[in-house]
Amino acid sequence: MSASCKLRAMVQRTPFRRLLLCLALAVLVAASALVTFQISQRLSLADLQATGRHRLDLYAASLERSIDKYAYFPATLGLESDVIDLLSGGATPRLADKVNRYLEQLNERAGTLAIYVIDLHGHVRASSNWQRSDSFVGEDLSFRAYFRDAIDQGNGRFFGIGTTRSEPGYYLSSALSRNGRIVGVAVIKVSLEQLEESWATAETPVLVADENGIVILSSVPDWKFTALRRLDETTRATFDRTQQYNRRALPPLGVNETASLDKAARLVRIDRASSASVTAYPVTGQFLIQSQPLAGTFWSLNVFSHIERAEKVSTTRAAGAGVTMLLFALLGLMLNERRRLLKERLAAREALQKAHDELERKVEERTLDLSATNQQLQTEIAERVRAEQTLRAAQDELIQAGKLAVIGQLSAGIVHELNQPLAALRTLSGNAVRFLERGNEQTARDNLERIGQLVDRMGQITGQLKAFARKSSGKAAPVDLRQVVANAIALLEQRFRTSRIRLTRNFPDTPLTVLCDGNRLEQVIINLIGNALDAMLDQPEEQRRELGIEISAEISSTPRENAVRLTVRDHGPGLSPEAIARLFEPFFTTKDAGVGLGLGLAISTGIVNDYGGTLSGENHPDGGAVFILTLPLTIEDTGSEQP
């Protein structure tokens, strides 16, 4: 993986990964909240249970104390002989009155609801409330359980509602006997209202249910005489018969168990609508009920602990734990992100350093390569320059060789050209000597003048030849094309004359200045005219004389450049197809050996190209060959306006 790819991969965080992270975070927070909630709930419940147990102990103790206070009270009535006498059948109005008064006083002193004695038939023989209109005296209470229990078992305990005054109370009964024979039953009815009142300040509901599940005592007034359990018909019938609850309706309290924690503790829900009674604590909702049997009775003491507060505390704790976990997780994430960023930054720096090192290494390599290449290039350039110099020298040599070949071709004519004045010189000089001997000085002078002219003419010819033959440098300089053509024609003049070929020149009057080596351009033009002369040699003399060779020049202007176009046209046989194809090929010639080398056009085209020109050859539509040479004109000859 390249450094840049690594960098990109480091910078990229996929949305999927982010989603997973968010999910994990949510799960973590939810789990911590749930666990905290459960632990807190368990602890709160344990707390509640402990408090509940404590309350149970407290309330049970106080209740038992209150009941125990009267436990032996009925039995002590057996110590009173009047009471025993009354029950044993020795009843006289006086005795009954005495016992009534005694029980009344006793009742007042003990603070009980009622104290009365019942004979073996169940009839009340004397009672503390004997003076009241609803006095028990004479009442048949044989149906009461406490009476039968006392007869059967010696003692009876019973909670019930009075049939006469509908006053609820706790009945404690004891069998009274004389000489080991039961003569009756002593009963005291105790009010537990006082105890109830002290419960009213309790922090939670507390109740006492009897063996039938009927709430007989409760800190919540509404709950009294409700049933904790559903009562079946048989039980209800018994209640009707014994009038234990004096035909009270006994509606259900509406306790729905939701969970059982252990034998003595249950979670319940109470939905019972509360009436006008006001309590300092909630009486509906979720509760923990803890029960405990009351010693010496069939009753159970039940303490209700409202768990909603504990639930709320657990929820708050759970929320706190969730938030804390979230904060910790976020802190962790932040630290992790910071660590990751730091790592990425380090990795990025490392990658950058690597890339930088790599770049530096490459630059160094390239620099080395470059210097090697540079050196190689320099060597190559030097070699090429040397090769070009060699080539240039060879070309120069070739051009010179070509020129010498031309001179060779010209030499016969030139020799012929010089021979004539030479012969004339010999004759004129001989005649001059003779005229001087004869004293004809005038004629001798004329001869000598003529000799001088001939020598000048010969000097002119050799001068032209010498100028042409000199080895030129090839350096470009402004030259007038018209002059160059004139020089070339001068050197070929003798050939024109001897071959009787007509020469037609068509040049503008203005100079045609081109930038080139005049000597080399002259060589080109001599070549072209020479070839035209050679081509015309086989033509009939008439044609040679009439048509001959035409040399013309014109300025050709294009938007891009101004050039001079020189055409050399002959009326010879024209160019064969092979000649057209191979015209500028070195050593292509159709001429006899010794006449042509086949280098003329090849060298000429090279020279013309050197100065930015072109050379081409074609057949004229009217016969004969046409060679066209173009060369760029220097600025002053373009005819355009100068700035």
Report strand pairing: 206-209 vs 215-218.
antiparallel
- The Cα 63–Cα 69 span in angstroms is 10
List 51, 589, 634, 638, residue binding ligand ADP (CB under 6 A):
589
State yes or no: residue 598 binds ligand ADP (CB under 6 A): yes
Residue 397 CB, shortest distance to ligand ADP, in Å, is 17
State yes or no: residue 596 binds ligand ADP (CB under 6 A): yes
Residue 579 CB, shortest distance to ligand ADP, in Å, is 5
Whose Cβ is closer to ligand ADP: residue 395's or residue 638's? 395
Residue 590 CB, shortest distance to ligand ADP, in Å, is 3
Q: Which stretch binds ligand ADP (CB under 6 A): 184-192, 387-395, 457-465, 593-601?
A: 593-601
State yes or no: residue 572 binds ligand ADP (CB under 6 A): yes
List 160, 421, 600, 613, residue binding ligand ADP (CB under 6 A):
600
Number of amino acids touching ligand ADP (CB under 6 A): 19
Please, what is the Cα angle at 193 between 188 and 198, to 5 degrees? 135
Residue 616 CB, shortest distance to ligand ADP, in Å, is 12
Whose Cβ is closer to ligand ADP: residue 521's or residue 601's? 601
Site string for ligand ADP, 247-276 (x = CB under 6 A): ------------------------------
State yes or no: residue 115 binds ligand ADP (CB under 6 A): no
Residue 480 CB, shortest distance to ligand ADP, in Å, is 25
Contact between 217 and 168 (Cβ < 8 Å) = no
Q: Which of residues 523-562 bind ligand ADP (CB under 6 A)?
A: 527, 531-532, 535
State yes or no: residue 579 binds ligand ADP (CB under 6 A): yes
- State the burial class of residue 171 (Cβ atoms within 10 Å of its Cβ: 0-12, 13-18, 19+): buried
Contact between 175 and 154 (Cβ < 8 Å) = yes
- The Cα 420–Cα 428 span in angstroms is 12
- The Cα 584–Cα 524 span in angstroms is 13
- State the burial class of residue 142 (Cβ atoms within 10 Å of its Cβ: 0-12, 13-18, 19+): middle
List 17, 54, 470, 591, residue binding ligand ADP (CB under 6 A):
591
Contact between 634 and 513 (Cβ < 8 Å) = yes
Q: Which stretch binds ligand ADP (CB under 6 A): 73-81, 364-372, 479-487, 597-605?
A: 597-605
List 185, 410, 601, 633, residue binding ligand ADP (CB under 6 A):
601
Whose Cβ is closer to ligand ADP: residue 402's or residue 518's? 402
Whose Cβ is closer to ligand ADP: residue 159's or residue 627's? 627
List 141, 566, 625, 629, residue binding ligand ADP (CB under 6 A):
625
- 3 state DSSP class of 124: strand
Contact between 209 and 300 (Cβ < 8 Å) = yes
Contact between 502 and 546 (Cβ < 8 Å) = yes
Whose Cβ is closer to ligand ADP: residue 511's or residue 598's? 598
Alpha helix (H) residue ranges in 438-480: 441-469
CB within 8 A of 605, min separation 6: which ones? Answer: 584, 615
List 104, 149, 570, 637, residue binding ligand ADP (CB under 6 A):
570
Whose Cβ is closer to ligand ADP: residue 228's or residue 601's? 601
State yes or no: residue 503 binds ligand ADP (CB under 6 A): no
Whose Cβ is closer to ligand ADP: residue 112's or residue 527's? 527
- The Cα 77–Cα 125 span in angstroms is 13
Task: Report the run of H or E that residue 314 belongs to, with start and end.
Answer: helix 308-437
The letter for the amino acid at 290 is Q
- The Cα 600–Cα 526 span in angstroms is 9
Residue 529 CB, shortest distance to ligand ADP, in Å, is 9
Residue 492 CB, shortest distance to ligand ADP, in Å, is 14
- The Cα 246–Cα 161 span in angstroms is 6
In DSSP terms, which residues pair with 551 in a beta bridge?
505, 568
Residue 283 φ/ψ, nearest 5 degrees:
-120, 0
- Footprint of ligand ADP (CB under 6 A): 527, 531-532, 535, 570, 572, 575, 579, 583, 588-591, 596-598, 600-601, 625
